[in-house]
Amino acid sequence: MPAAFDRLVVLDFEATCDNSDPPVPQEVIEFPSVLVSLTDRAVVDSFSTFVRPVHHPTLSAFCTELTTIRQADVDPAPVFPEVLAAHRAWLEGHGLFDSQGRERFAFVTCGDWDLQTMLPVQCGASGIPISALPPVYRRWINIKKVFLAVMKKAKTTGMPAMLQALGLELQGTHHRGIDDCHNIARLVFALADRGARFDLTGKLAASHYPELALDLQWGDRVERVFLKKRHLASLLGLASGVFHARMVRVLGPDGAAIEDDDPLAELPPESRLRVLSARDLAT
């Protein structure tokens, strides 16, 4: 089967850490990416920069030993909002979004931590609403899941173990972000050669999104509500309680039925949604 995406962007953050008392919040200190073409089986370009932590600016000895990133590397580096803007510009410069701003690629990570945990934590620490990020930053392909789908007898999914299972040697320094990105890219090519399909495997959990103010309309009645979790079931339950009737369908601002949770992640605050009850559908 053909790959779901022709172009992939490998991403692997490095962050502040300590073996005894981890910093809170953790902050990204290296933001690397590698753009790969599955059609050409080649690395197209790379993006790599250190990031200056602001909440805990001094790196621990453990962090430097693990990542090889030194204090002298991060002290003059740009802060995260500047790096994120530069990363988005790099993606756009490679034509990875169409004229409507829709992505033509997917991120690949080694595990779910980078985009499921670290990015929301960093955005919170930097005052960036997670819902303001382009949707592509909120869903990803976990290379470990692709690996297990192809190498069905594999028992471990650490990066060195996956490379070894595919007959590859670890190159560069493990836990240095840009080196890890290049090694993950080599995993991508090796798995693609074995027929792997690169479909999205994860998306940001609804709990990471802020409470959403909405106007719900049922017939001529309109009520302001606050949706705490962006789940369709939660929205229907909330509407049922507000209108004291069992609501079974939600129509978006464009009039189209909302069938799953995904559209709720992109709704701007104060959107107006129409709700329909079971009786409405029966008439």
Query: Which residue has tokens 């836990």?
Result: 175
Q: Does position 3 have pLDDT exceeding 60, yes or no? A: no
Strands 7-11 and 221-227: unpaired
| Confidence band for 170, pLDDT divided at 50, 70 and 90 | very high
Q: What is the pLDDT of residue 97?
A: 92
Q: Is 208 a catalytic residue?
A: no
Q: Does position 58 have pLDDT exceeding 90, yes or no? A: yes
Q: What is the pLDDT of residue 222?
A: 97
Which of 174, 175, 223, 231 is labelled catalytic? Answer: 175
Which of 14, 27, 30, 103 is labelled catalytic? Answer: 14
Task: For 14-42, write each residue's pLDDT tens digit.
Answer: 999 999 888 999 999 999 999 999 999 99
Q: What is the pLDDT of residue 99?
A: 85
What residue ranges define each of the domains in the chain, with the CATH number in brackets?
Answer: 7-203 (3.30.420.10), 206-282 (3.10.20.10)
216 vs 206 pLDDT, higher one: 216
Q: Is 103 a catalytic residue?
A: no
Q: What is the pLDDT of residue 75?
A: 98
